[in-house]
Structure 1
Amino acid sequence: METISVIGNVFWIILGGWVNALAYFLGGLVMMITIVGIPFGFALWKLAVLALLPFGKDVKVERVTGWHIFGNIVWLLLFGWAIALSHVFFGILFFITIIGIPFGYENFKLAKLAIWPLGVSVKDRVSGLPM
């Protein structure tokens, strides 16, 4: 299973995953400029990690507090819906072809994180370590 994840990640990066990851990382830097945007910056960095190497990673809810719910609602209204919609769009495009189905699945995983990023972690499927 680990070899398949490595192969999938290599193809993902070659086919443009690094562009997505770079955009999320730079967006996170912009959000870090303000104190209010720091949690959203960390959320974008989680998306950057998952967008760079999505194969072999799981998105898991770690904790849900009142702040996470409030922050996720604000995130969803301001940014999350557009980011998630773009990943759903590309996921559907990838699902049209048989060879693209794994990439479509990874786009749906990114959409899931883009909708509700606060209180959620990205973990390696094999080691269980947070990324």
Structure 2
Amino acid sequence: MQPVSILLNVLWILFGGALMAAGWLIAAVIMAITVIGLPWARAAFNIAVYSLLPFGSRAVRRDELTGQSDLGTGALGLIGNLIWFILAGWWLAIGHVVLAIGYAVTIIGIPFAWAHLKLAGIALWPIGKAIVPA
């Protein structure tokens, strides 16, 4: 990880990133406890990791990463993402966009605004994604 990414991640954690990651982690645990939420627990955990350290990382499709299709990148993943989008994805993305606008008002907050926009993108359609170093 680049020194600038490390610095931005430390600042991100201090200014709210740890709380966001904790929220996503709690959501992942709650989803894992329920039988119905199991398909979305992995996606919520991926978002938790991504929201803890968004700088120097990016979300990619798992089939592009591994070269093999799996349940999350096939038809079941599409159905899961549609259900996620309807039930949770759109309002989580709106929350990230609103926070991004708030951070973008200041020059110092622009990198954090960009991170929120990346999180908004994965919050819309998380199933079948993996977090990799940029």
TM-score higher than 0.5 here? yes
2:54 maps to a residue whose letter is: P
Deviates more, 1:15-24 or 1:61-70: 61-70
Q: Percent identity?
A: 37
Q: Secondary structure at the match of 1:99?
A: coil
Identify the residue that residue 129 of structure 1 maps to in structure 2.
none
Identify the residue that residue 111 of structure 2 maps to in structure 1.
102
Q: Distance in 2 between matches of 1:2 and 1:26?
A: 29
RMSD: 1.1
Deviates more, 1:106-115 or 1:29-38: 29-38
* CA apart distance, 1:36: 2.4
Q: Distance in 2 between matches of 1:11 and 1:34?
A: 34
Q: Distance in 2 between matches of 1:42 and 1:119?
A: 9
Identify the residue that residue 127 of structure 2 maps to in structure 1.
118
Query: Displaced runs of 4+ in structure 1, greater than 4 A?
Result: none
Residue segments in structure 2 that go unaligned for 5+ positions in a row: 64-72
Q: Secondary structure at the match of 1:117?
A: coil
Identify the residue that residue 50 of structure 1 maps to in structure 2.
50
* CA apart distance, 1:26: 0.6
- Structure 1-normalised TM-score? 0.91
* CA apart distance, 1:62: 2.3
Identify the residue that residue 70 of structure 1 maps to in structure 2.
79
* CA apart distance, 1:7: 0.1
* CA apart distance, 1:39: 1.7
- Structure 2-normalised TM-score? 0.89
Residue segments in structure 1 that go unaligned for 5+ positions in a row: 126-131
